[in-house]
Homo-oligomer: A and B are copies of this chain.
Amino acid sequence: MPTITFKPSNITIDVPTGTSLPEAARLAGLEIESPCGENGTCGNCVVRIVAGEVDSDSLGLLSPRAVKDGYALACKTRVSESPLTIEVPEQIDYEGGKFIDTYEDTSLLHYELFPENYQFDPLSVKCFLTVSKPQLEDGLSDVDRITRSLELNFGKIQFTYALSVIRKAADALRAEDGKVTVTLIKEPNRCHVIDIEPADHTTKHFGIAVDVGTTTVAVQLIALPGAEILSTRTDYNEQIRCGLDVISRINYARQAVHLDELRECVLNTINRLITLATESHNVKHDNIYSAVISGNTTMVHLLLGLKPEYIRLEPYSPTVHKTPFFTAEEIGLDIHPQAAIYISPGIGSYVGGDITSGILCTDLVADSEEIKLFLDIGTNGELVIGNGSFLMACACSAGPAFEGGGIEHGMRAAIGAIERVEIDAETGAPSYFTIGNVPPKAVCGSGMISLLANLFLTGWIDAAGKLNRTKNSPFIQINGRHAQFIIVPAEESGTGKAIVIGEVDIANIIRAKAAIYSACSLMLARLGLEFADITKVYIAGGFGRFLDLDKARIIGMIPDLPREKFKYIGNSSLKGAYMVLVSQEHRQQQIESARRMTYMELNTDPSYMDQYTGALFLPHTDPERFSSVHAAMRIKNNNRLQKKRRID
């Protein structure tokens, strides 16, 4: 087996001939990231062959000069029979797992989601019973007597028991004279008993709500039955190392071993977040008896170990929309092994349980004729439009930019993230606001939107997203054909490096916002509606506490409607999961709206590309669509000119 040496770390490993370079790196404990899913398209995994021969399919994908200099795409390159020395360029590390996120999204609290004195009715129930003693000749087994006690509390319904409960029952009943705490799951046709403990432990009763996003995973710990949110923890989805968006992940999953790896990645992320969420409150994992998981269709497939390939291939048919209850043990969640796992139902390949959860936080399904729009902006953008009579959904691929993915100095909304940037019109000098008031590390979604809008309003970028090279500013660095804007100089930064945003990053953000706007626009057109018909727009996404909706409108991400029609509702997938966890009424409502919702496929619509191209400007190529933005800019420019004249 040839020996491979990785530079600059000088780690060596012997691998069989034919091993791919990313695989060899993994075996050596290193990582070569391939956001495109080892598809040879993103170029992120480029390495330099310092010495030795390789077997590479990537040479036609690189410039002749790069090939001459020894560069190759690792994902398309295999080890041959000779020893090898490979230089792996330093990459921007993702934040995943690198710091503990104590920031909590408080943009909508549970007292806003439920009316006062709401009767919570969680999925799992823990109740304290006094079970009658065994009697000679009454013919009742231990389990029969537990059932009798339960019937007094819940009526004559079907009770079933997990084998582990049957195993514990005899001793539990006899330890404290029949006083036991029984934990059960209220399923539609039965109550399933999953634990029994001697004495009263009803206060040790917790559930978790989980949002599995393509880029970010969030776990919320909830004390039941009071429905109190104890803590929320978020982190990057560890799957990021296998691809940045769902299509890359689906490509990556084509090998069965990779499908397993993706499953393990997301489980690791969730289980790590469960540990973080519980340890500060001294909650035992075994006292978590229920979980609601919301995620897009691909994320749910990967979590369950389902082959996602057919999601990507026409006719885009996923394996499952609505799953049965699973146990934590089956899925691999590190909570009570018999805990009930409910997965929010999806309705299409690109409209998943994150959306049926999300609309629970809105009044889209209220009994009203008013048409409302729900916009969930993540790596995939999903839109739902509807009222009491109809519900229509569609999806678009926005990419991970607003969650910090694919942006050199991007990060998700966590401590250290710049969430707002103001720009001085004259000098271009930025002033920034950071989550947690710590030295900044990078820019999150709301920060990018704020930065772009303000650069655009002040004329430091043009409608195409190019930095202004005609005026001199110490904050703009020009390097050949590329220019970048310096938000934070190295000496102020939390990382010791300057925090910048380049024109490549700006183009990424513009593509993301264009994908969302054009999907909105196309869906309305297909429904024969106009933006003006919409009475309310709910914006969801993990942008941070303060998404400035005016700024989002200025860059053309959201439609040009009056300010009061918008509401930012934060991570609605997580909030919806929480609502389902603590209320059977909302679980039924979710199932019902999933049943009612129609999925509209936009990707196959030939006019989508026209709509998208038109939206690749700030705010849009068609000024009519954003008349309020243009009016504001005219006013701002006039003011500036007048101010300038006065100074002159």
Hey, which chain B residues are within 8 Å of A170, CB to CB? 306-307, 309-310, 319
Hey, which chain B residues are within 8 Å of A167, CB to CB? 304-307
A136: nearest residue on chain B (CB-CB)? B315
A193: nearest residue on chain B (CB-CB)? B324
A109 to chain B, nearest CB (A): 35
Q: From residue 168 to 224 of chain A, which have CB atoms closer than 8 A to chain B?
A: 169-171, 174, 189-190
| Residue among B169, B306, B315 making CB contact with A166, cutoff 8 Å | B306
Hey, which chain B residues are within 8 Å of A135, CB to CB? 315, 317
Q: Report the bound CA distance from A599 to B305 in whole Å.
A: 49
Add 12 more A-B contacts to A135-B315, A189-B189 (CB < 8 A).
A134-B310, A136-B315, A137-B601, A139-B347, A141-B318, A141-B319, A141-B322, A163-B305, A166-B306, A166-B319, A170-B310, A174-B310
Q: A residues within 8 Å of B by Cβ? A: 134-137, 139-144, 158, 160-161, 163, 166-167, 169-171, 174, 189-190, 304-307, 309-310, 314-324, 326, 330-331, 347-348, 598-601, 604
A143 and B317 contacting across the interface, CB-CB below 8 Å:
no
- Given known A-B contacts A139-B347, A189-B189, A320 and B134 have beta carbons under 8 A apart: no
A452 to chain B, nearest CB (A): 35
Q: Report the bound CA distance from A319 to B166 in whole Å.
A: 7
A309: nearest residue on chain B (CB-CB)? B170
Q: Report the bound CA distance from A320 to B598 in whole Å.
A: 47
Q: Could you jot down 6 A-B contacts, CB within 8 Å? A: A137-B600, A143-B321, A163-B330, A169-B320, A170-B319, A174-B310
A192: nearest residue on chain B (CB-CB)? B324
Interface centre among A143, A320, A331 (most CB of B within 10 A): A320
- Given known A-B contacts A321-B144, A324-B160, A316 and B601 have beta carbons under 8 A apart: no
A319 and B143 contacting across the interface, CB-CB below 8 Å:
yes
A156 to chain B, nearest CB (A): 15
Interface centre among A144, A163, A601 (most CB of B within 10 A): A163
A330: nearest residue on chain B (CB-CB)? B163
Hey, which chain B residues are within 8 Å of A316, CB to CB? 136
A139 and B169 contacting across the interface, CB-CB below 8 Å:
no
A599 and B142 contacting across the interface, CB-CB below 8 Å:
no
B304 and A141 contacting across the interface, CB-CB below 8 Å:
no
Q: Report the bound CA distance from A171 to B319 in whole Å.
A: 9
A326: nearest residue on chain B (CB-CB)? B163
B160 and A599 contacting across the interface, CB-CB below 8 Å:
no
Q: Report the bound CA distance from A323 to B161 in whole Å.
A: 8
Q: Report the bound CA distance from A306 to B173 in whole Å.
A: 14
Hey, which chain B residues are within 8 Å of A137, CB to CB? 315, 599-601
A599 and B139 contacting across the interface, CB-CB below 8 Å:
yes
Q: Report the bound CA distance from A592 to B277 in whole Å.
A: 49
Q: Which 6 A-B pairs have the closest CB atoms?
A: A134-B317, A136-B315, A141-B321, A142-B319, A143-B320, A160-B324
Q: Report the bound CA distance from A134 to B348 in whole Å.
A: 12
A233 to chain B, nearest CB (A): 26
B347 and A136 contacting across the interface, CB-CB below 8 Å:
no
A105 to chain B, nearest CB (A): 31
Hey, which chain B residues are within 8 Å of A315, CB to CB? 134-137
B310 and A142 contacting across the interface, CB-CB below 8 Å:
yes
Q: Report the bound CA distance from A190 to B188 in whole Å.
A: 12
Hey, which chain B residues are within 8 Å of A160, CB to CB? 324
Q: Report the bound CA distance from A158 to B320 in whole Å.
A: 16
B136 and A166 contacting across the interface, CB-CB below 8 Å:
no
Hey, which chain B residues are within 8 Å of A143, CB to CB? 319-322
A314: nearest residue on chain B (CB-CB)? B136
B136 and A307 contacting across the interface, CB-CB below 8 Å:
no
Hey, which chain B residues are within 8 Å of A318, CB to CB? 141-142
A331: nearest residue on chain B (CB-CB)? B163
Hey, which chain B residues are within 8 Å of A320, CB to CB? 141-143, 161, 166, 169
A134: nearest residue on chain B (CB-CB)? B317
Interface centre among A316, A321, A599, A604 (most CB of B within 10 A): A321
Q: Report the bound CA distance from A256 to B170 in whole Å.
A: 14
| Residue among B166, B310, B348, B598 making CB contact with A323, cutoff 8 Å | B166
Q: Report the bound CA distance from A174 to B307 in whole Å.
A: 12
Q: Report the bound CA distance from A348 to B139 in whole Å.
A: 6
A304 and B166 contacting across the interface, CB-CB below 8 Å:
yes
Hey, which chain B residues are within 8 Å of A601, CB to CB? 136-137
A598: nearest residue on chain B (CB-CB)? B139
Hey, which chain B residues are within 8 Å of A304, CB to CB? 163, 166-167
B171 and A307 contacting across the interface, CB-CB below 8 Å:
yes
A602 to chain B, nearest CB (A): 11
Q: Report the bound CA distance from A170 to B317 in whole Å.
A: 9
A305 to chain B, nearest CB (A): 6
Q: Report the bound CA distance from A335 to B567 in whole Å.
A: 56
A39 to chain B, nearest CB (A): 21
Q: Report the bound CA distance from A135 to B598 in whole Å.
A: 14
- Given known A-B contacts A167-B305, A189-B189, A317 and B599 have beta carbons under 8 A apart: no
Q: Report the bound CA distance from A600 to B319 in whole Å.
A: 54
Q: Report the bound CA distance from A600 to B306 in whole Å.
A: 54
Q: Report the bound CA distance from A518 to B321 in whole Å.
A: 63
Interface centre among A137, A161, A190 (most CB of B within 10 A): A137
A235 to chain B, nearest CB (A): 26
Q: Report the bound CA distance from A41 to B622 in whole Å.
A: 98
| Residue among B161, B189, B604 making CB contact with A324, cutoff 8 Å | B161
Hey, which chain B residues are within 8 Å of A169, CB to CB? 319-320
Q: Report the bound CA distance from A601 to B137 in whole Å.
A: 7
Hey, which chain B residues are within 8 Å of A324, CB to CB? 160-161
Interface centre among A135, A318, A326, A348 (most CB of B within 10 A): A318
Hey, which chain B residues are within 8 Å of A141, CB to CB? 317-322
A170: nearest residue on chain B (CB-CB)? B319
Hey, which chain B residues are within 8 Å of A326, CB to CB? 163
A223 to chain B, nearest CB (A): 29
